[in-house]
């Protein structure tokens, strides 16, 4: 029995597909299941039981002896939400209870952290646990993820295996429901299909030309491969980066999306909104040495490979993973 929280979401639903591919079909899907568009991510997947997130802890107290592994992917991920009480309830306190249950019942745990914890990158992007207390995220979402990471590192009572994964800029199938919080590639695809061109933020930093702001984009298929590896590995607990390890420009992203659509590149630059301009990240790149050092040796998709697969096999046909 494997539990996936956030099961109907983008990453959670892809993870369930990956587990099903390895014949793990005794899946307990935890979510609120109130969004019908989101629930389409679960169509056709092999799931033993759906448990509402509000009922999950009671369910776990009754069924823990059967649980082999827990993936805690569920969270409030809206970076534009400023109601701290929402993050405190869903991202911090809920996660603390999961941690405590996994310790009590000795269930191995992988949970989703975020590269949003790094803020403007003043301390770099090394996943050294020593710098976690120093990090200054740029929004309440990032604060909530970093607060939980800090809390985890303070705990004496831990599950026998646990890993926190700092997801960088994840893109890929099953994000149809995410609206404005979907990946840049998802929005690029629709802008190009609808207008034949793409808008990118102009640079307001003299060190970067327009469109040459850089991010570490990671294809969701690579992310779930790492999750699968950790489920089988179950050693070297800790907090790890999970990106591609290679920063790429937004121009690269746009041009590859145009290419996947067989459309000439036409890019317009617009000012970065004033209210986010001073908090805009111009560069992120995951240091991936720590994950590699524990034996994970599979290559990651290049941005070209990931965009081509995502556009041609999913976005153009409306297919789910």
Feature table: binding site for NADP(+): 10-11, 31-32, 38, 53, 73-77, 145, 170, 178
Structure tokens at 157: 């009572």
Give the active site residue among 150, 178, 197, 246. 178
Calculate ∠ Cα 29-32-35, nearest 5°.
110
* Cα dihedral sign, 23-238-56-54: negative
Residues in the annotated binding site:
10-11, 31-32, 38, 53, 73-77, 145, 169-170, 178, 180, 187, 201-204, 215, 280
Which of 56, 38, 47, 37 is closest to 16 using CA atoms? 47
Residues in the annotated binding site for substrate:
169, 180, 187, 201-204, 215, 280
N-terminal to C-terminal alpha carbon distance within the chain? 21
Q: Please confirm, yes or no, whether 282 is among the known catalytic residues.
A: no
Beta strands 214-215 and 238-242: pairing type?
Answer: unpaired
CA distances from 242 to 74, 163, 168, 203, 245 (A): 17, 11, 6, 26, 8
Give the active site residue among 118, 125, 141, 219. 141
CA distances from 4 to 8, 78, 227, 321 (A): 9, 20, 11, 16
Q: Please confirm, yes or no, whether 178 is among the known catalytic residues.
A: yes
CA distance 37 to 178: 9
Count Cβ atoms within 10 A of the Cβ of residue 114 and give its class: 0-12 exposed, 13-18 middle, 19 or more buried: buried
- Active site residue ranges: 141, 178
């Amino acid at each position: 029995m494997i539990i996936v929280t956030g099961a109907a979401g983008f990453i959670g639903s892809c993870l369930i597909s990956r587990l099903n591919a390895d014949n793990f079909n005794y899946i307990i899907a935890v979510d609120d299941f109130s969004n019908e568009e989101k629930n389409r991510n679960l169509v056709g997947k092999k799931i033993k039981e759906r448990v509402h997130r509000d009922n999950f802890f009671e369910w776990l107290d009754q069924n823990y002896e059967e649980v082999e592994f827990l993936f805690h992917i569920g969270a409030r991920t809206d970076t534009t939400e400023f109601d701290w009480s929402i993050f405190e309830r869903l991202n911090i306190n809920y996660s603390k209870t999961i941690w405590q249950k996994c310790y009590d019942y000795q269930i191995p745990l992988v949970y989703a952290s975020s590269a949003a914890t790094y803020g403007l990158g003043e301390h770099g992007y090394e996943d050294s646990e020593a710098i976690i207390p120093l990090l200054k995220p740029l929004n309440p979402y990032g604060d909530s993820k970093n607060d939980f990471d800090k809390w985890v590192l303070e705990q004496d009572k831990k599950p026998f295996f646990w890993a926190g994964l700092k997801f960088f800029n994840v893109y890929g199938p099953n994000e149809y429901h995410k609206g404005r919080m979907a990946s840049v590639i998802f929005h690029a695809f629709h802008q190009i299909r609808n207008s034949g061109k793409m808008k990118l933020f102009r640079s307001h930093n003299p060190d970067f030309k327009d469109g040459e702001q850089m991010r570490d984009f990671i294809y969701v298929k690579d992310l779930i491969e790492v999750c699968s590896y950790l489920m089988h590995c179950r050693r070297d607990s800790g907090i790890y980066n999970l990106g591609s390890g290679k920063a790429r420009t937004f121009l690269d992203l746009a041009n590859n999306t145009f290419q996947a659509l067989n459309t000439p590149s036409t890019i317009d630059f617009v000012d970065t909104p004033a209210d986010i301009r001073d908090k805009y990240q111009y560069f992120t790149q995951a240091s991936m040495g720590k994950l590699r050092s524990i034996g994970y040796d599979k290559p990651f998709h290049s941005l070209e490979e990931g965009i081509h697969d995502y556009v041609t096999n999913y976005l153009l046909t409306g297919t789910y993973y």
